[in-house]
A and B are shown apart, each in its own frame.
Chain A
Amino acid sequence: MSIVKDIQSGRKPLKRAYVGIFLWFTGRAIQATARVDQEVKKEFDNLPDDFTFSLGCLPDGPCMVIGKEKGKVKYLGSNPGKRHVHVRLAIKSVDAAFLILSFQEGTAVATTRNRLITDGEVPYALAVIRILDIVEVYLLPKIIASLAVKRYPKGWSIGRKLGGRIGVYTRTLLGI
């Protein structure tokens, strides 16, 4: 018998479940927002036709993959398959992912604290971050979204605020 005992880190099932559900919902919301919001649509239009990005947590935590297919933005589940992933956003651990996705820490602050690693072309990564910021503004109440983004947008029309939010939530729930 070995005198060295392997110690496995805890799986943290509740945090993993929260992160997994959040990423699943956000993935569908990105697909929905790309159809509802002109600014997000324009950001995606400026990206390559086969553009793919992932947001997940290391080492083997939950992940979401978004890709463009025939001009349309699609939530592709948790596995990119054989697609080339242009931008990978990787959160260092489930704990760090929980901090970010429960809005205790904004995206920019997480980056400065080396919890969020970005791999890929910088202009693409910046476009993804701008898209994620807008999606968060649609999904979250102002008081929470203000914690997640550097600056909560001012000057959105009522139509964009209300109509857009209804559109994003409806499409997200229906997966269309």
Chain B
Amino acid sequence: MLLPDYYEFCCRVKIVAGHDALEKIPDLLIERGAKKPLIITDKGVAGAGLIDIVTRALRDRVFADLIADNVPPDSDLRVVNQLAGLYHDNACDAIIAVGGGSVMDTAKGVNIVVSENATDLMAFSGVGALKRPLKPLIAVPTTAGTGSEVTQVAVIKDHEKHLKMAFGSYFLLPDISVLDSRMTMTMPPFITAMTGMDAMSHAVEAYYCLQKNPLSDAHALAAVNMIYQYLPIVAKNPADQDARLSMAVGACLAGIAFSNSMVGLVHNLGHATGSVCGVPHGMCMAIMLPYGLEYNMHKREDAMAGLLLPMAGEAVYRDTPPAQRAAKVVSLIRQLNADLNTITGGRHARFFQEVRDRDGKPMVPREVLPEIARAALSDGASIYNPEDTDYDDNLMVLEAAWEGKPLDRNKVKKG
């Protein structure tokens, strides 16, 4: 086992999980002296009827009528300030964020503004600028993927100044995360597949990247086990409530793992592909994950081999020669992508050449790969990747991921 000389681990989020976990929210708010929360969400979540489920769970016990559903797909500074005004005007005393990553980030931004009485959110950007606890924040994720219900970061965009502000602080961790199976039941198989693979990429990268430690490892292994087992089940049968809850817990475990050990090349190239071509984040993660494993295998083969046990079980682990276990993990992840591709009728792409927009046009033309490779040089995830990466490495991996061919590991420059 790779035991670092020094590491840090923190997750002080209270996690409440169950098929009726939402009903616990009033007690949790009252425990914290709050009874008038501002509910922050987006139109998609509200349109799917999920806010009705939340408000039904709250009503009679706490005030649940103040709902802001205007969070855009990308967090936006103007919306943060507008929602902070709404919070003040209505004398709210807590925030409930119901949604995916953008809603969580927006809620964290609003919490900074209202807790610090900030006029300039920028003054709190970076790491460590927050010095005291914020107002109570309850996170209710509606996808089993991002893990942002247990992460200490937020990214807010200032679209007017074309700035992306990143915030990092333990005070940004939500006080409570509520994982309720009803919140993900309406997700279609295609979205379920890619958000689930996003969670899988968090767990797998957390298990082999540079900041891994025994505590993040424990969460990563448990996450890999649950996600690998339950993702095909929920993709096939979206109404399976137990499997939905298992995926929510798996994604949460993966979120705890990666927020303490960080991620590497898969996210590095995935972020760049998303920003250049607009490919959904989860889809990039699904496609890139086998390539991240292959690229780093010479440095992390033992750790990767260890993933075979939670994925395939004791019998397969025992029957696979140690030297082939890491490669077997890669083939199982490729097979998982292939199964999800079949289940979703081809909508879950296995490689970049297959990614299409709603009109059926290719979203990642081969000629943009150099641009993606260059953009990836500006993404911080590369720091935590075990092997170094440069423009040529990025392009080599992207070309393989575009064609859908396994990476030629002999071509990886080894440090």
Contacts and interface: CB of A to CB of B under 8 A. Distances in A.
Nearest to A107: B383
Interface residues of A, number: 19
B127 A117 contact: yes
A27 B77 CA distance: 38
B382 interface: yes
Given A109-B210, A119-B126, 19 more contacts: A108-B383, A108-B384, A112-B4, A114-B6, A119-B127, A122-B379, A122-B380, A123-B377, A126-B377, A126-B380, A126-B383, A149-B415, A150-B388, A151-B387, A151-B388, A151-B413, A151-B414, A151-B415, A154-B413
The list of the 3 closest CB pairs from A to B, nearest first, reads: A151-B415, A123-B378, A151-B388
A113 interface: yes
B160 interface: no
Identify whether the interface residues of B are mostly helix, strand, loop, or mixed: loop
Nearest to B386: A150
B60 interface: no
Interface in B357-415: 377-380, 382-384, 387-388, 413-415
A119 B167 CA distance: 11
26 contacts: A108-B210, A111-B383, A111-B384, A112-B210, A112-B383, A112-B384, A113-B4, A115-B6, A117-B127, A119-B126, A119-B127, A122-B378, A122-B379, A123-B377, A123-B378, A126-B377, A126-B378, A126-B380, A149-B388, A149-B415, A150-B387, A150-B415, A151-B388, A151-B413, A151-B414, A151-B415
Contacts, number: 50
Contacts of A112: 4, 7, 210-211, 262, 383-384
Interface in B251-287: 262
Interface in B1-54: 4-8
Interface of B: 4-8, 126-128, 166, 210-211, 262, 377-380, 382-384, 387-388, 413-415
